[in-house]
Amino acid sequence: MHAALDLELAGEHMQLMADRALYWPARGRLLIADLHLGKGDIMRAAGIAVPSGGTGHDLARLDALLRSTGARELWVLGDFLHGRRHARFETQWRRLLAAHPGCSAGVVAGNHDRALVPDAAGVVHLPEDVHDGPFRFRHHPLPAAGGEGGPGAGHVLCGHVHPVAALPGLPGRWPALVLEPGQTILPAFSAFTGGRLLDDRQAWIACAHGEFAGHRDAPWRRAPP
Protein backbone atom coordinates (compact mmCIF):
# COMPACT_ATOMS: atom_id res chain seq x y z
CA MET A 1 0.00 0.00 0.00
CA HIS A 2 1.35 3.42 -0.93
CA ALA A 3 1.88 5.85 1.93
CA ALA A 4 -0.96 8.34 2.22
CA LEU A 5 -1.68 11.48 4.21
CA ASP A 6 -5.29 12.22 5.16
CA LEU A 7 -6.50 15.70 4.24
CA GLU A 8 -9.81 17.52 4.39
CA LEU A 9 -10.55 19.67 1.34
CA ALA A 10 -13.88 21.48 0.98
CA GLY A 11 -15.30 19.20 3.67
CA GLU A 12 -14.30 16.03 1.81
CA HIS A 13 -11.89 13.37 3.02
CA MET A 14 -8.97 13.14 0.57
CA GLN A 15 -5.67 11.29 0.62
CA LEU A 16 -2.40 12.69 -0.65
CA MET A 17 -0.40 9.76 -1.97
CA ALA A 18 3.36 9.89 -1.46
CA ASP A 19 3.88 9.24 -5.18
CA ARG A 20 2.38 12.58 -6.35
CA ALA A 21 -1.32 11.78 -6.58
CA LEU A 22 -4.53 12.71 -4.77
CA TYR A 23 -7.22 10.13 -4.03
CA TRP A 24 -10.90 10.93 -3.40
CA PRO A 25 -12.29 7.88 -1.57
CA ALA A 26 -15.95 8.95 -1.83
CA ARG A 27 -15.73 8.70 -5.63
CA GLY A 28 -13.02 6.05 -5.85
CA ARG A 29 -11.17 8.55 -8.02
CA LEU A 30 -7.40 8.85 -8.36
CA LEU A 31 -6.27 12.31 -9.50
CA ILE A 32 -2.96 13.14 -11.12
CA ALA A 33 -1.75 16.13 -13.14
CA ASP A 34 0.92 16.64 -15.78
CA LEU A 35 1.73 13.10 -16.86
CA HIS A 36 3.57 14.36 -19.98
CA LEU A 37 3.66 11.02 -21.79
CA GLY A 38 6.48 10.87 -24.33
CA LYS A 39 8.43 13.89 -23.12
CA GLY A 40 11.77 12.09 -23.21
CA ASP A 41 11.16 10.80 -26.75
CA ILE A 42 10.35 14.29 -27.98
CA MET A 43 13.45 15.78 -26.40
CA ARG A 44 15.70 13.05 -27.78
CA ALA A 45 14.20 13.57 -31.25
CA ALA A 46 15.19 17.23 -30.89
CA GLY A 47 18.79 16.21 -30.18
CA ILE A 48 18.67 16.70 -26.42
CA ALA A 49 20.45 13.89 -24.58
CA VAL A 50 18.06 12.63 -21.89
CA PRO A 51 17.71 9.13 -20.41
CA SER A 52 15.20 6.70 -21.91
CA GLY A 53 12.58 4.78 -19.93
CA GLY A 54 10.87 7.76 -18.29
CA THR A 55 7.41 6.95 -19.65
CA GLY A 56 7.64 3.31 -18.57
CA HIS A 57 8.76 4.36 -15.11
CA ASP A 58 5.87 6.82 -14.70
CA LEU A 59 3.31 4.28 -15.89
CA ALA A 60 4.70 1.66 -13.50
CA ARG A 61 4.21 4.13 -10.63
CA LEU A 62 0.68 4.82 -11.81
CA ASP A 63 -0.06 1.10 -12.05
CA ALA A 64 1.07 0.66 -8.44
CA LEU A 65 -1.17 3.52 -7.30
CA LEU A 66 -4.20 2.10 -9.08
CA ARG A 67 -3.58 -1.27 -7.48
CA SER A 68 -3.04 0.09 -3.98
CA THR A 69 -6.08 2.39 -3.99
CA GLY A 70 -8.41 0.15 -5.97
CA ALA A 71 -9.54 3.31 -7.82
CA ARG A 72 -12.60 3.05 -10.04
CA GLU A 73 -11.71 6.24 -11.91
CA LEU A 74 -8.46 7.87 -12.99
CA TRP A 75 -8.60 11.56 -13.91
CA VAL A 76 -5.60 13.32 -15.43
CA LEU A 77 -5.84 17.07 -14.83
CA GLY A 78 -4.11 18.20 -17.99
CA ASP A 79 -0.95 17.56 -19.99
CA PHE A 80 -1.65 13.88 -20.46
CA LEU A 81 0.70 14.10 -23.47
CA HIS A 82 3.80 16.21 -23.85
CA GLY A 83 3.42 16.70 -27.59
CA ARG A 84 2.68 14.49 -30.56
CA ARG A 85 1.27 11.00 -30.30
CA HIS A 86 3.63 8.05 -30.55
CA ALA A 87 2.61 4.42 -31.04
CA ARG A 88 5.07 3.10 -28.47
CA PHE A 89 3.91 5.05 -25.45
CA GLU A 90 0.28 4.91 -26.59
CA THR A 91 0.62 1.11 -26.50
CA GLN A 92 2.15 1.29 -23.03
CA TRP A 93 -0.78 3.42 -21.86
CA ARG A 94 -3.39 1.07 -23.34
CA ARG A 95 -1.64 -1.84 -21.65
CA LEU A 96 -1.99 -0.03 -18.31
CA LEU A 97 -5.72 0.48 -18.86
CA ALA A 98 -6.17 -3.16 -19.83
CA ALA A 99 -4.58 -4.18 -16.52
CA HIS A 100 -7.31 -2.25 -14.67
CA PRO A 101 -10.58 -3.10 -16.45
CA GLY A 102 -12.65 -1.82 -13.53
CA CYS A 103 -11.16 1.66 -13.76
CA SER A 104 -12.24 4.25 -16.33
CA ALA A 105 -9.92 7.10 -17.36
CA GLY A 106 -10.69 10.74 -18.13
CA VAL A 107 -8.51 13.65 -19.20
CA VAL A 108 -9.00 17.38 -18.74
CA ALA A 109 -6.97 18.56 -21.74
CA GLY A 110 -4.03 20.82 -20.96
CA ASN A 111 -1.89 23.13 -23.07
CA HIS A 112 0.30 20.20 -24.20
CA ASP A 113 -2.64 18.05 -25.30
CA ARG A 114 -3.29 19.43 -28.78
CA ALA A 115 -2.55 16.00 -30.30
CA LEU A 116 -4.79 14.08 -27.89
CA VAL A 117 -7.27 11.71 -29.58
CA PRO A 118 -9.46 10.47 -26.71
CA ASP A 119 -10.81 7.37 -28.49
CA ALA A 120 -7.30 6.27 -29.52
CA ALA A 121 -6.08 6.70 -25.95
CA GLY A 122 -9.13 5.00 -24.44
CA VAL A 123 -10.01 8.02 -22.30
CA VAL A 124 -13.00 10.28 -21.82
CA HIS A 125 -12.31 13.89 -22.83
CA LEU A 126 -13.39 16.00 -19.86
CA PRO A 127 -13.99 19.73 -20.40
CA GLU A 128 -11.94 22.33 -18.58
CA ASP A 129 -13.64 23.20 -15.30
CA VAL A 130 -15.62 20.05 -14.50
CA HIS A 131 -17.83 20.45 -11.41
CA ASP A 132 -18.38 17.43 -9.16
CA GLY A 133 -19.44 17.67 -5.52
CA PRO A 134 -17.67 20.61 -3.89
CA PHE A 135 -14.85 20.59 -6.47
CA ARG A 136 -13.93 22.12 -9.82
CA PHE A 137 -11.43 20.06 -11.83
CA ARG A 138 -9.17 22.10 -14.13
CA HIS A 139 -5.73 22.09 -15.69
CA HIS A 140 -4.88 25.75 -15.15
CA PRO A 141 -5.10 27.30 -11.68
CA LEU A 142 -7.28 30.34 -11.25
CA PRO A 143 -5.52 33.64 -10.41
CA ALA A 144 -7.88 33.87 -7.46
CA ALA A 145 -9.57 30.72 -6.21
CA GLY A 146 -13.20 29.98 -6.98
CA GLY A 147 -14.65 32.05 -4.16
CA GLU A 148 -17.89 31.60 -2.33
CA GLY A 149 -21.14 31.53 -4.28
CA GLY A 150 -21.79 32.57 -7.86
CA PRO A 151 -21.00 30.63 -11.05
CA GLY A 152 -17.38 30.08 -10.07
CA ALA A 153 -18.15 28.47 -6.71
CA GLY A 154 -16.26 25.34 -5.78
CA HIS A 155 -12.83 24.29 -4.56
CA VAL A 156 -10.44 24.11 -7.51
CA LEU A 157 -8.22 21.04 -8.04
CA CYS A 158 -5.68 21.65 -10.79
CA GLY A 159 -2.10 21.26 -12.02
CA HIS A 160 -0.02 22.98 -14.73
CA VAL A 161 2.60 24.81 -12.67
CA HIS A 162 4.60 21.78 -11.40
CA PRO A 163 5.14 23.16 -7.86
CA VAL A 164 8.35 22.12 -6.09
CA ALA A 165 9.80 22.88 -2.67
CA ALA A 166 13.28 23.07 -1.19
CA LEU A 167 13.58 21.09 2.04
CA PRO A 168 16.10 21.72 4.84
CA GLY A 169 18.80 19.07 4.88
CA LEU A 170 17.78 17.48 1.57
CA PRO A 171 19.44 18.37 -1.73
CA GLY A 172 17.36 19.16 -4.78
CA ARG A 173 13.75 20.24 -5.17
CA TRP A 174 10.76 18.08 -4.35
CA PRO A 175 7.27 17.91 -5.90
CA ALA A 176 4.65 19.50 -3.69
CA LEU A 177 0.91 19.91 -3.25
CA VAL A 178 0.01 23.60 -2.82
CA LEU A 179 -2.82 24.50 -0.43
CA GLU A 180 -4.54 27.81 -1.11
CA PRO A 181 -7.91 29.15 0.05
CA GLY A 182 -10.38 27.57 -2.37
CA GLN A 183 -7.70 25.96 -4.53
CA THR A 184 -5.29 23.00 -4.38
CA ILE A 185 -2.55 22.57 -6.97
CA LEU A 186 -1.28 19.04 -7.56
CA PRO A 187 2.39 18.22 -8.12
CA ALA A 188 3.45 17.08 -11.58
CA PHE A 189 3.13 13.30 -11.74
CA SER A 190 5.88 12.87 -14.33
CA ALA A 191 9.26 12.36 -12.70
CA PHE A 192 10.89 14.10 -15.67
CA THR A 193 9.70 17.68 -15.24
CA GLY A 194 10.99 20.98 -14.00
CA GLY A 195 9.01 23.02 -11.54
CA ARG A 196 8.12 26.36 -10.00
CA LEU A 197 9.84 26.86 -6.67
CA LEU A 198 7.46 27.68 -3.83
CA ASP A 199 8.22 30.41 -1.32
CA ASP A 200 7.74 30.86 2.41
CA ARG A 201 4.44 32.67 1.98
CA GLN A 202 2.67 29.56 0.69
CA ALA A 203 1.33 26.46 2.42
CA TRP A 204 2.45 23.22 0.82
CA ILE A 205 3.12 19.55 1.42
CA ALA A 206 6.12 18.05 -0.35
CA CYS A 207 6.60 14.38 -1.25
CA ALA A 208 10.17 13.24 -0.58
CA HIS A 209 11.55 9.72 -0.12
CA GLY A 210 8.17 8.36 0.97
CA GLU A 211 7.71 11.07 3.60
CA PHE A 212 5.62 14.22 3.69
CA ALA A 213 7.20 17.55 4.55
CA GLY A 214 5.13 20.67 5.00
CA HIS A 215 5.40 24.41 5.40
CA ARG A 216 3.17 26.71 7.48
CA ASP A 217 -0.18 24.96 7.87
CA ALA A 218 1.25 21.63 6.70
CA PRO A 219 3.87 20.48 9.26
CA TRP A 220 6.28 17.56 8.91
CA ARG A 221 4.40 14.30 8.72
CA ARG A 222 6.01 10.87 8.45
CA ALA A 223 4.24 8.58 6.00
CA PRO A 224 2.80 5.39 7.53
CA PRO A 225 4.37 2.11 6.36
3-state helix, strand, coil in the chain (%, to 5): 15, 30, 50
Which domains does the chain carry? 4-215 (3.60.21)
Do 5 and 221 touch, CB atoms closer than 8 A?
yes
Summarize pLDDT for 4-44 with one digit per residue, the tens: 999 999 999 999 999 999 999 999 999 999 999 875 565 44
Nearest to 37 by CA among 98, 78, 97: 78
Helix (H) or strand (E) holding 208: strand 203-208
Residue 43: the pLDDT is 47
Phi, psi of 90 (to 5 degrees): -65, -40
Residue 39: the pLDDT is 59
Distance CA 36, CA 50 (A): 15
Summarize pLDDT for 126-139 with one digit per residue, the tens: 998 999 999 999 99
